[in-house]
Amino acid sequence: MATIQGILNAGAWIFTGAAVVAIVVALILQIVKDNVRLESLNNPTDKTVKVLGKVLHSPPATVIILTLSAIAFFAKALAYWGMFFGVGVTGPVFWGSQLGWIFYWFFTSFALGLYVCLRNEWYYAMPYGFAAAAGSFFVATFVAPANQLAFVLLGGVLALILIIALGVFGIRKDWKAIVAIVAFALVIFVGYILPYILSPQYQNQITTLSTLIWYLIIDCVIVLWVAFMVITAMDCGQVEAYLMKDLEKTPKPCASKNARFQN
């Protein structure tokens, strides 16, 4: 039978392992990329090097997403380890979980912004915005019940605005980018915020075993979501090149004097 300590211990080990795997894969990809680049410079006419370069090529965005995700997983592991050893727990309230959201949302939204090639005006503000949204739920845990709704609304509205910005101002708009944004939105609102609001006695406090199990599952869904982004990542230069090709293929409007009469 599951216990609170068992769930916390499982979460700690899962995210410790996820952080190690992510950073190791990032290091391997970076080393391979650097070696292939060096060989191509030393032997520009070597066909074997060219073939290896094509086979082993991965976008630089892949490594960046992996490193950002590794930090997110490490922060989540710290939250679970802390609660397992009694840090981040006050009585029956496991507020360390909400504290972990701040860092988890920061780095995962940072990775998503890179994945969808978010415009610079929003890219650098996006992770801080999600961290602030998560922070509002963390603060709500400690305020009087009568004032909690205000913090929940602040965090929820801010998260909604940022999700919309990801969809509107992201340069990459293929089906993979749409899937990544929609999945992230569902995880935030259905996975984190809704159960938070529906927690016992509307105290917005994580106090029950079932709630902790639910959040562990949602935390693990983020790991699968990161894997999807890593596999389907593209550099923003590639995305812009594809967009330019599509624009070139788009039929241009007639420029003749009688064009206005053709509609």
All domains of the chain, ordered by start, with CATH?
4-238 (1.20.1070.10)
Pick the more confident residue, 256 or 87.
87
Residue 248, pLDDT above cutoff 70: no
The mean pLDDT of 220-226, rounded to a whole number, is 96
- Name the DSSP class of 3: -
Residue 8, pLDDT above cutoff 60: yes
Question: Over the stretch 101-129, which tens digit does the pLDDT of each residue have?
Answer: 999 999 999 999 999 999 988 999 999 99
Task: Report phi then psi at 231, rounded to 5.
Answer: -70, -35
pLDDT at site 67? 96
Q: In this structure, are residues 99 and 88 in contact, taking their beta carbons and an 8 Å threshold?
A: yes
Q: What is the pTM (predicted TM-score) of this model?
A: 0.85
Pick the more confident residue, 58 or 193.
193
Using a pLDDT cut of 90, give the percent of the chain over it.
52
SS3 144: coil
Closest CA to 179 of 162, 167, 193: 167
How far is it, in rounded angstroms, from Cα 199 to Cα 205? Answer: 6
How far is it, in rounded angstroms, from Cα 44 to Cα 180? Answer: 38
pLDDT at site 142? 84
Q: In this structure, are residues 234 and 59 in contact, taking their beta carbons and an 8 Å threshold?
A: yes
Structure tokens that stand for 157 in this block: 């509205």
Question: Over the stretch 51-90, which tens digit does the pLDDT of each residue have?
Answer: 555 545 567 889 999 999 999 999 999 999 999 998 888 7
